[in-house]
Structure 1
Amino acid sequence: MALSRRGLLAGALATTTSIALAACGDGSSSADEGADAKTLTLWHYEGPTSAMGVAWNKAIEIFKRKHPGVEVKFEEKSFEQIQQNAQMILNSDSAPDIMEYNKGNATAGLLSKQGLLTDLSDQFGKYGWDKLLSGSLQTTAKYDDDGIMGSGRFFGVPNYGEYVMVYYNKALFDKYEIAVPTTFDQFTAAMDTFVKNKVTPLAVGGAEYPAQQIFYELALAKADRAFVDDYQLYKNKVDFNGPVISYGAQAFADWVSKGYLGKDSAGIKAEDMGVSWEQGKFPILISGSWWYGRFVNEVKNFEWGTFLFPGNTLHPGSSGNLWVVPQKSRAKSLAYDFIDITMSPEVQNLLGNSGGVPVAADPAAITDAKNKELIENFTKLTSSDGLAFYPDWPAPGYYDVLVAGVQGLINGSKTPQAFRDEIAKPYQENLADLGK
């Protein structure tokens, strides 16, 4: 996630890390990249009222004006559909021409290693995307021959940033005279107050991604950058019985026992979690900035705000998901043009004013105070090297492993030790497969 249109938001997101650009194309010529195609098939999983959905609808509109003879076949998929079926789909003739895909070793990295994604290195230089994305944001866009992020060739383009934060219902905080917490102890004290008043503090979806983000936030309370590099980039061995993961697992189990989240949340999906918070049923939701624009548009019955997870210097977050071009795309040139439109000032500024975190917007064009706050908090993280990526990135299939593991902590079927053992095994097996 980098913000820098001609240096405007780059200062917010740039880091001192520089990553060498490997300019190695896939050897295709424009003639066989579908420059004359009459259809562009596009998949993504952002809701139409989300910041990304709003911005990308505008991009489709601009694309149609630029290519009046081309039909855009847009299909909205769920995150789960693409997460679970991408490998099979991209190996078939029903692959789309361009799609949104999750970044990280276990997802985009795995597909790049399998030869299912188009190498975009030449396009990065041709369109100037390398100038718009700082080193920290390029980390998730490039992968080596083993599918490990951070070096090698470009296989995706992120055009927004994201991070996990705490959303809170101001009306419920005021009702129980709770101040916005600035320390971890104040945060747990606030949740204790809600529990004493028979209010479950946290809206949680355990059937999908949000619950594991809470576990990771708790683990990161005891982590430093060296741990993140070891866990995500395999720089050194990770001890799953060490202080970081042990604390995260135990603290999460403690939160369940204290009533901070309901045991029924093990079966709740992310969408249902978000809707329940929008309806004012829970005072707190811990999840990503991708909800922000939607909440701006849909929460009408109470005032709300956000804050970073108290006490942490590291938080789940990264560049946003990637635009990838499947190797079997029949309209690669059109796909590149669509990606470039999403990086344009018009679309990037709209993204920022719709509650998203753009990578190439003009700060002066972001007019809403809440949206400025969103981007400023992201700036705090990037300027302090505070993005720790996501817990499910290190190994193929690890997302499902973590979902099942955290569900066990929620419903009490697994102890913290059993949880640690369960998530350690596939992680270590992946390292063995990589010869590490």
Structure 2
Amino acid sequence: MKIAKLTAGAAVAALALSACAPGSSQDKPATKPGGTVQTGVPEGNVELDLIATPESGAAMKEIIPAFEAKYPNVKVKYVDTSYEDYNKSLNLALASDTSPDIALLNVVGTSVKDGLVLNLQPYAEAYGWESAYPTGQLNQWRVAADGTTLGSGDLYAAPASFSQVGLYYNKAKLAKLGVEAPTTFEELEASLAKAKEAGETPLQLGNKEGHAAFPIQLIGQSTDGPASYAKWAFGEKGSSFDTAGNQKGAQALLDWGTKGYYSKDANGIDLQGAVDKFVNGDGVFFVDGSWDSKKIGDGLKADAGFMPFPGAKATAIGTSVAYAISARSENQQAAAAFLDFLRTPEAAKASFAQGFMPSDASTVTAEPGTLSADLVAAWNKVNADDGLIGFNNNATATMNDTLVAETQKLIGGKQDPAGFIKAVQDDWTKTHG
């Protein structure tokens, strides 16, 4: 899932390379547009195929009609697939003869290295994206020449909006416990203990899909500091997962389970199951992303609260909801125009309604005292502290699977914190050395 600002521009010439099937190798990580890059859409009727997941793509139901109204000769066909199935099948879809033109890119994985997505650097220059977006927000989708190291090199996806993973809380339950929203890790643990004593579920947690990795990462990056922590997530050579912060995070998850702060059957509950439980009053705190804020806000109404993870500096896990163009697309110019449209006020408003943040929060409004206002306040604070870090799950093509397996072992008593950290680092080392 960490989950943006943008002009028109000059033409850029680039060399075209052919796309490759997954697992193949080539001299350059991916293709660039052929010929002269132009902004806007071409003349004549164009149909674009776009694929995404239901959560990230929800805003498309409003964005697509707005784009089609601006460009009547372009029709966009939208299809979504569940998160787990989507990530497993994306490269196959991009490599097929029926490849979509535009695809949500949750994880860089091997899509760039295998030449399946278009190098967007020429379009970034033509549309002026680099001067419009904050550097850190584009860097999450920059890939070096090795095809795996993130944070530098050319751009392979364009941001639509941003997610942030932080700490939801039930305001009514906190008031009943007589405590304020925690501002430090120590206050959070004290609140968890008090909730347990009162017979509440202190922390709602669903780990069937590995989301226990979220609290571990949040504790880790708030302890180690965002700048230091980001190096590992980006795949910077010589980085290690064996840090004081990750040790603290893994141990805390284990301890919280021992103390009964979350359900014993957490490994059998998926994320949306945990959301449903939290909305129905089961849980004082819940670590989750802004993508579920609409459901949580609609369910808990005025009792729903959200904040950055407690610590000296505001920190959150997040990345942009970013879209790539297939290297096989025959409509690259129109597809790039659609990516540029994702930065417009219409697109920002549609994304914010679904719980995703625009790069510049001043482009949206939220009623004071609401969950939406909490999201904006958290987003502004995290950005002010430069505390947004990409998902650890994206560090390698296989890291998500590793984190699912290893967090389940940790919760299930079949792994200790040291073994968890070693397994995660071993996966990282296979890709980044």
Question: Normalized against structure 2, the TM-score is what?
Answer: 0.85
Query: Given the alignment of the two structures, is residue 87 of structure 1 paired with residue 95 of structure 2, yes or no?
Result: no
Report the alpha carbon displacement of residue 37 of structure 1 after superposing the two structures with TM.
Answer: 5.6
Gaps of 5+ in 2: 16-31
Aligned to 1:349: 349
Report the alpha carbon displacement of residue 315 of structure 1 after superposing the two structures with TM.
Answer: 3.0
Partner letter of residue 173 of structure 2?
L
Query: Given the alignment of the two structures, is residue 224 of structure 1 paired with residue 211 of structure 2, yes or no?
Result: no
Aligned to 1:306: 306
Aligned to 1:395: 396
Alignment map for 1:36-435 (pairs within 5 Å): 36=44, 38-47=46-55, 53-54=58-59, 56-102=60-106, 107-108=107-108, 110-147=110-147, 148-225=149-226, 227-235=228-236, 237-296=238-297, 298-300=298-300, 303-313=303-313, 315-352=315-352, 355-359=355-359, 362-363=362-363, 365-369=364-368, 370=370, 371-432=372-433
Distance in 1, matches of 2:419 and 2:161, equals 37
Tell which deviates more after alignment, 230-239 or 82-91: 230-239
Is the Cα–Cα contact under 8 Å of residues 50 and 103 in structure 2 kept in the other structure? Answer: yes
Identity %: 24
Distance in 2, matches of 1:345 and 1:215, equals 35
The counterpart of 1:28, out of the listed 28, 34, 37, is: 34
**Equivalent residue of 1:299, what SS?**
helix
Q: Could you give the per-residue CA deviations for residues 303-322 of structure 1, whole angstroms, max 9, x where no partner exists?
A: 11112211253634343121
Is the Cα–Cα contact under 8 Å of residues 42 and 72 in structure 1 kept in the other structure? Answer: yes
Distance in 1, matches of 2:152 and 2:305, equals 37
Distance in 1, matches of 2:390 and 2:328, equals 29
Distance in 2, matches of 1:253 and 1:361, equals 36
Distance in 2, matches of 1:195 and 1:367, equals 33
Partner letter of residue 252 of structure 1?
L
Count matched residues: 407
Partner letter of residue 28 of structure 1?
G
After superposition, the Cα gap between the structure-2 partners of 1:3 and 1:424, relative to the gap in structure 1 and judged at 3 Å, is: closer
Is the Cα–Cα contact under 8 Å of residues 101 and 335 in structure 2 kept in the other structure? Answer: yes
After superposition, the Cα gap between the structure-2 partners of 1:136 and 1:226, relative to the gap in structure 1 and judged at 3 Å, is: closer
Tell which deviates more after alignment, 66-75 or 159-168: 66-75
Tell which deviates more after alignment, 23-32 or 375-384: 23-32
Tell which deviates more after alignment, 413-422 or 313-322: 313-322
Tell which deviates more after alignment, 76-85 or 298-307: 298-307
Structure 1 stretches of 4+ with a deviation exceeding 6 A read: 30-35
Report the alpha carbon displacement of residue 139 of structure 1 after superposing the two structures with TM.
Answer: 0.6
Report the alpha carbon displacement of residue 27 of structure 1 after superposing the two structures with TM.
Answer: 3.9
After superposition, the Cα gap between the structure-2 partners of 1:372 and 1:4, relative to the gap in structure 1 and judged at 3 Å, is: farther
Tell which deviates more after alignment, 268-277 or 228-237: 228-237
Is the Cα–Cα contact under 8 Å of residues 44 and 73 in structure 2 kept in the other structure? Answer: no
Report the alpha carbon displacement of residue 226 of structure 1 after superposing the two structures with TM.
Answer: 5.3
**Equivalent residue of 1:329, what SS?**
coil
After superposition, the Cα gap between the structure-2 partners of 1:109 and 1:310, relative to the gap in structure 1 and judged at 3 Å, is: same
After superposition, the Cα gap between the structure-2 partners of 1:4 and 1:113, relative to the gap in structure 1 and judged at 3 Å, is: same
After superposition, the Cα gap between the structure-2 partners of 1:233 and 1:352, relative to the gap in structure 1 and judged at 3 Å, is: closer
Partner letter of residue 82 of structure 1?
Y
**Equivalent residue of 1:309, what SS?**
coil
After superposition, the Cα gap between the structure-2 partners of 1:187 and 1:155, relative to the gap in structure 1 and judged at 3 Å, is: same
Distance in 1, matches of 2:407 and 2:110, equals 24
Tell which deviates more after alignment, 396-405 or 175-184: 175-184
Report the alpha carbon displacement of residue 209 of structure 1 after superposing the two structures with TM.
Answer: 4.3
Is the Cα–Cα contact under 8 Å of residues 289 and 356 in structure 1 kept in the other structure? Answer: yes
After superposition, the Cα gap between the structure-2 partners of 1:136 and 1:301, relative to the gap in structure 1 and judged at 3 Å, is: closer
Distance in 1, matches of 2:410 and 2:121, equals 42
**Equivalent residue of 2:180, what SS?**
coil
Distance in 2, matches of 1:291 and 1:312, equals 26
Distance in 2, matches of 1:31 and 1:311, equals 46
Is the Cα–Cα contact under 8 Å of residues 220 and 248 in structure 1 kept in the other structure? Answer: no
Distance in 2, matches of 1:211 and 1:35, equals 49
**Equivalent residue of 1:108, what SS?**
coil
Is the Cα–Cα contact under 8 Å of residues 163 and 315 in structure 1 kept in the other structure? Answer: no
Q: Could you give the per-residue CA deviations for residues 400-429 of structure 1, whole angstroms, max 9, x where no partner exists?
A: 101110011112121222222222221122
Is the Cα–Cα contact under 8 Å of residues 101 and 331 in structure 2 kept in the other structure? Answer: yes
Distance in 2, matches of 1:202 and 1:259, equals 9
Gaps of 5+ in 1: 7-21
Q: Could you give the per-residue CA deviations for residues 156-206 of structure 1, whole angstroms, max 9, x where no partner exists?
A: 001212222111111222222232212212111111112122222112121
Distance in 1, matches of 2:356 and 2:309, equals 19
After superposition, the Cα gap between the structure-2 partners of 1:209 and 1:124, relative to the gap in structure 1 and judged at 3 Å, is: farther
Distance in 1, matches of 2:259 and 2:178, equals 20
Is the Cα–Cα contact under 8 Å of residues 206 and 274 in structure 2 kept in the other structure? Answer: yes
Is the Cα–Cα contact under 8 Å of residues 100 and 321 in structure 1 kept in the other structure? Answer: yes
Tell which deviates more after alignment, 235-244 or 162-171: 235-244
Is the Cα–Cα contact under 8 Å of residues 4 and 343 in structure 2 kept in the other structure? Answer: no
Report the alpha carbon displacement of residue 301 of structure 1 after superposing the two structures with TM.
Answer: 5.9
Report the alpha carbon displacement of residue 109 of structure 1 after superposing the two structures with TM.
Answer: 5.4
